[in-house]
Structure 1
Amino acid sequence: MDTTMITIVERLAWTSVQTALLVGLVWAVCRLVPSLGAATRCRLWWLVSLQAVAGLFWAQPLQLAVLPAPALAADTFIAGTDVAYAHAPALPTAQVVSAIHTVSSAAIGAAPWWALVLAALWISGVLAMAWRTAAEWRRTRALLAAAQPCADQTLVEALNLAAEAHGLRRAPRLWMSAQIDAPQVVGPLRPVLLLPAGARALQGDALDLALTHELQHLQRHDLQWGLLPAVAQHLFFFHPLLCLAVREYAQAREEAVDAAVVEGRSERRQDYGRLLLQLGVMPRPHLGVASAAPSTASLKRRLLSLQQRHACPKAVAVALTVAVLAIGVLPMRLVAAPPPPAPPAAPAAPRAPVPPAPPSAPAAPPALAVPPATDLPAAPPAPAAPAAPAKVQEKTTSTTTIMRSSDDDSLSMITHGELDLGKRPDRAYVLLDGNASYAHGAMDDVKQARRDLGADSQAFWFRQGTERYVVRDRTLLLQMQEAYADAARIGTEQAKLGRQQGELGRRTGEQARAVAMVAREEALRAVRHSTDINRDAAAEAARASLEASRAAKDARGNAELATLAQRQASLGAEQAALGQRQSQAHARAAREAEKIMAQALQDGRAQRL
């Protein structure tokens, strides 16, 4: 839950910044190209809402590596690591990976308090906006309940003919209401055209122009297109520039409809302007569109737009729309550039070697007496080899591994999913897809499915208790394959990282054995040189040379071991992140599989074996 809150806050922040930049871009385009048509401006402002909603729900935005790379911090960390590894015993790879996984899990599990507070405030604001919309919906329902269907059949027939002329498959329902002052259309799914009744009723040309205005809204599908800006305003209620974009979209939408009403008939501009003045100002319905302007400033802008006779070329308008769509709508994130390749670190200074104990002086021997044996210098300890990976317990359940199972030496299959290596669960399923299978159950279930269906078949096998079923319907198989697509992709990445970790482990072991071999050779040489008591000076010189050579080799070996351990730790962190994503992917796939099994049993597409 905490990670979800952090993700929401991060997406809200990044999307808010990108939305502000996109609003500035669209505003500049509208200012620099004053002849831009109202329909084009309407599309540009609608793209702002699209960017906001997409930025919040898009899981993998485009990453722009434009921030400076943390070169200094990386260099400092690497240098410190080299020194630490040169002076400390090497940890086994399994312990390093376990420590990294523990630290990352602890860091992810505890969200900062400010992220939780911001997420709670945002959720409260969204709920408040939803409550206001629900209240508007109730008022609209009350308005429709008080309205009456139009009894003038001549007007209804005229509306049907006009709707057919505008290309509408079905004319809207025409109702009369004494509670409104201007015509309006409400309801995005089943639109209703409301006309004022009584003393406010329109007559003659005014009624014709008003009906044409509302039919233009229906022809343009403005009620449906307007849902996205409404959703964006609910989600980003705190963003003043997005609220500005939604208002500009609504204003440009009305101006575009006004232009369509008077297009090709310049003599109607004055009549239409008088109609707008007659309708005056009224609040815009939240669940519909109205002919009247919501404010005096909006009415003034609509009257001025009627005077515009020449719009910019259509090619320019299309080019501007495509440019804004390509540049500003795709969700983006600014990330740090990859660090430059670091220069090879100097090997850590070796510790001063401890000289071996000098040989004990022999006792005054009698003639031909053999001198006593000298004390041998202690051989330096060999670096610890990486510990073998911990053996998986018999009854653990794997949720992120990719297992390879086989019934014989010539037949093998890669199995993705959750496999219980101990007790057999009550319910299980296996999706066979050629050389791969996706399973949730025990390994025996995978083998049973292969025996029932064949290794190379494509089918969905599942078990409930002791009853076994198979589904071969192509539609359901495609749904299962789509459900496990993410899990399969992540599993492939895990396998690739596992091979890299195995290769690094092999190299680490070889390096450790090489260092140990060098230490043993140097110890034997020191023994050979120290046994000759009649050549003390030569022995001391030889020991000093051998110890210097050993120290240099130890330093190089320890430096390489430190580098390998660092790479192993990095791969372990990546493997831990992939494991978390794999668990989430398997959980989603398991929920989808339960739905598919229930559907197959219900409609008879599951065959009992």
Structure 2
Amino acid sequence: MSAFIDALLPRVAHASLQSIVLAALVYALCRGMPSLSAATRSWLWWLVAAQMVLGVTCPDLFTLRLLPAPTTVHAVVIQNTGTDMPSIDVANDTTPSTLSWQTLLLSAWAIAIVVQVAFAVWRSRHLPGVLRRALPHDDARVEALCARRAHELGLRRSPRLAVSDEVSSPQVVGLWRPTILLPSDDTLSPDELDMALMHELAHVRRGDLYLGWIPAAARTLFFFHPAAWLANREYALCREAACDAMVVSRGHREPQNYGRLLLRLGVSPHPHHALPGASPTFLNLKRRLVMLGRIHETPPRAITLALVGVVTLAAALPWRVVAASETPTYVSVSVAPPAPPAPPPVPAAPALPAMPAHAMPTPPTPRAPRAPTVSSSSMNIVSVSDDAKNAFIYFGDGISVMSGKASDFSRAEAMRQGNDDFAWYRDGGKAWALRDPGYLKRIHDVYARASKQADVPQKTADRQERLDREQEALNDQMAKLSERQSDLANRNQNPGNPESAIAYAQGHATIAREQAAVGQKMGDLARERADIARELAEQNRQQGRLADSATREVNQILAEAVRNHVAVEAH
């Protein structure tokens, strides 16, 4: 749950910031280019809403790895007890499991979204009844007119016509099967009815019944963001104005006549489930009339498409500028015990050649350093930070975990009694000491299990060494082939001699075949290296999951010990 919260909160914040930039850009374009068509404006405001939705649902859809790759240094402390038992860092700083403000904030955000969705469903509860009570339109002339206009607009089939006394102006409803509802009091003239039908058909042609869900979703998810409300409002206005422009241009109507129709339809609150031709407010009606007068001032289509494309690529898509792939660096620190004083020479001191397997012989000279391997018998984790708000120190059988400030180590060591298992935990200014064997064993089992399950890529490192040797051998072969080719060219001193030319061609062909074979082997090595890189990435992800799991389990054990008063408060 904490990982989900940590991932979701940056998504919302990043999408909110990016939407401010995009909304400001679109607003400046609309104000700076008054002749911009209503259809273009609607698309631009729709992109603002789509960017907000994609920013939450698909935040890493487009990533640009432009930042330098971070280098994570894992300090692996290996106690040298005479046997080869390397250890591995499997956990980060241990922090207590508390209800953070991020959790409370996201919980309130989720509750607000659920309330909005429930309210929207409640507002739409009348739609099935309205459609069920609507009567089929029985005027064949209007049916024919609607079918003809639908064909002119490029629709494959005409929407169903129905009459209802529950609507005050023509409107289209229905997502899967659009239906145009006409008011039962037929007060529109045939010419006005024609324009009203074309307006509703334009909504179907543009796909507004589907596209309108994106601004609605953005307003629901970002109900706290002014850009979401602005995008939803401007998109709704420009959507209606785009349909007005389609009626005038495709229906060959005069803007003045259509403007009179808008005035006659007047102002009517928009239902939540339909797209009516009437305006929701007087200001909305005024802006539609102003945009209607600029229909013939639109810029060329190429400029419009280029503008929408640039805005889409530059600002609307959820770009993420991220760092390159993280390169972990392992630093092995061997802590050897103090050397005992040299004993006096005794004749019987030489080591016996036949030593038991369980004895502790002198370790052999190590090879070149590589990534540490797993050993479930010994594990030491050290993390020192002067700004650590929390600390956790544990001493167990073969396992030591020390995370916190340097002063925390001194306090914990002072409270430890002898060499018994011991845990010390600090949360802010309060600290607890844990000596209960049952709880300490549970903590030990968590780290022991994580140590056994972690898969440090020892075999992968061996494969990498083998590939390096093979690559070096292939490089030598390629260098020798280049020398042979150079010698062959130097020997071809008489190009006019047919025998010399034939020998040169045969030798050159042989070298080319050998170079191709070496190149193919190099390609195979490159593919195998890519496979190794993917395996290493998966192993790193697995280690991270094991570390998170161990941290959560230890946090739960500590919280339970404090809650049950098993852990004693340290002063």
Given the two structures, how large is their TM-score scaled by the length of structure 1?
Answer: 0.54
Provide the C-alpha distance between the structure 2 equivalents of 1:187 and 1:31, rounded to a whole number of angstroms: 34
8 Å contact 1:67–1:336 — kept in the other structure? yes
In the TM superposition, 1:546-585 aligns within 5 A as 575-578=539-542
- Aligned AA (2:285): L
> Partner residue of 2:438?
none
> Partner residue of 2:494?
none
State the shift of 1:124 in Å.
1.1
Provide the C-alpha distance between the structure 1 equivalents of 2:231 and 2:85, rounded to a whole number of angstroms: 55
State the shift of 1:284 in Å.
2.0
State the shift of 1:189 in Å.
1.0
Provide the C-alpha distance between the structure 2 equivalents of 1:91 and 1:189, rounded to a whole number of angstroms: 72
> Partner residue of 1:470?
none
Provide the C-alpha distance between the structure 1 equivalents of 2:179 and 2:25, rounded to a whole number of angstroms: 37
State the shift of 1:2 in Å.
3.3
8 Å contact 1:35–1:312 — kept in the other structure? yes
> Partner residue of 1:12?
12
> Partner residue of 2:55?
55
- Corresponding residue to 1:295 among 281, 293, 317: 281
Provide the C-alpha distance between the structure 2 equivalents of 1:23 and 1:90, rounded to a whole number of angstroms: 66
- Corresponding residue to 1:196 among 158, 161, 183: 183
Provide the C-alpha distance between the structure 2 equivalents of 1:121 and 1:341, rounded to a whole number of angstroms: 38
Change (3 A) 1:325 1:339: same
State the shift of 1:159 in Å.
1.9
Change (3 A) 1:373 1:228: closer
Match of 1:17, SS state, is: helix
> Partner residue of 1:273?
259
8 Å contact 2:373–2:457 — kept in the other structure? no
In the TM superposition, 1:107-506 aligns within 5 A as 110=97, 113-198=100-185, 201-263=187-249, 268-308=254-294, 309-335=296-322, 497=457, 499-502=459-462
> Partner residue of 1:95?
87
- Aligned AA (1:18): Q
Whether 2:19 is the aligned partner of 1:32: answer no
Unaligned 5+ segments in structure 1 are 360-371, 392-493, 507-570, 583-609
> Partner residue of 1:463?
none
1:16-40 deviation line (CA, Å, top 9, x unaligned): 2222222222222223332221111
Provide the C-alpha distance between the structure 1 equivalents of 2:85 and 2:222, rounded to a whole number of angstroms: 47
Match of 1:30, SS state, is: helix
Provide the C-alpha distance between the structure 2 equivalents of 1:58 and 1:111, rounded to a whole number of angstroms: 29
8 Å contact 1:66–1:336 — kept in the other structure? yes
8 Å contact 2:247–2:253 — kept in the other structure? no
State the shift of 1:578 in Å.
3.7
Aligned residue pair count: 388
What CA RMSD, in Å, does the superposition of the two structures yield over aligned residues?
4.6
Provide the C-alpha distance between the structure 2 equivalents of 1:130 and 1:322, rounded to a whole number of angstroms: 32
8 Å contact 2:455–2:539 — kept in the other structure? no
State the shift of 1:192 in Å.
1.2
Change (3 A) 1:356 1:499: closer
State the shift of 1:141 in Å.
2.2
Unaligned 5+ segments in structure 2 are 351-360, 367-371, 378-453, 467-534, 547-571
> Partner residue of 2:41?
41
8 Å contact 1:70–1:336 — kept in the other structure? yes
Aligned-residue identity in percent? 36
8 Å contact 2:170–2:180 — kept in the other structure? yes
Provide the C-alpha distance between the structure 1 equivalents of 2:146 and 2:259, rounded to a whole number of angstroms: 22
Provide the C-alpha distance between the structure 2 equivalents of 1:231 and 1:327, rounded to a whole number of angstroms: 22
1:541-593 deviation line (CA, Å, top 9, x unaligned): xxxxxxxxxxxxxxxxxxxxxxxxxxxxxx999725246789xxxxxxxxxxx
State the shift of 1:503 in Å.
7.0
Match of 2:297, SS state, is: coil
State the shift of 1:272 in Å.
0.9
- Aligned AA (2:223): F
Match of 2:10, SS state, is: helix
| 111-120 or 254-263: bigger deviation | 111-120
8 Å contact 2:81–2:337 — kept in the other structure? no
8 Å contact 1:195–1:201 — kept in the other structure? no
1:226-245 deviation line (CA, Å, top 9, x unaligned): 22222333332232212211
Match of 2:35, SS state, is: coil
1:326-380 deviation line (CA, Å, top 9, x unaligned): 12233233445789999xx9x99x9999986899xxxxxxxxxxxx98999xxx9
Match of 1:263, SS state, is: helix
- Aligned AA (1:95): S
State the shift of 1:265 in Å.
7.2
Provide the C-alpha distance between the structure 2 equivalents of 1:505 and 1:264, rounded to a whole number of angstroms: 71
8 Å contact 2:87–2:375 — kept in the other structure? no
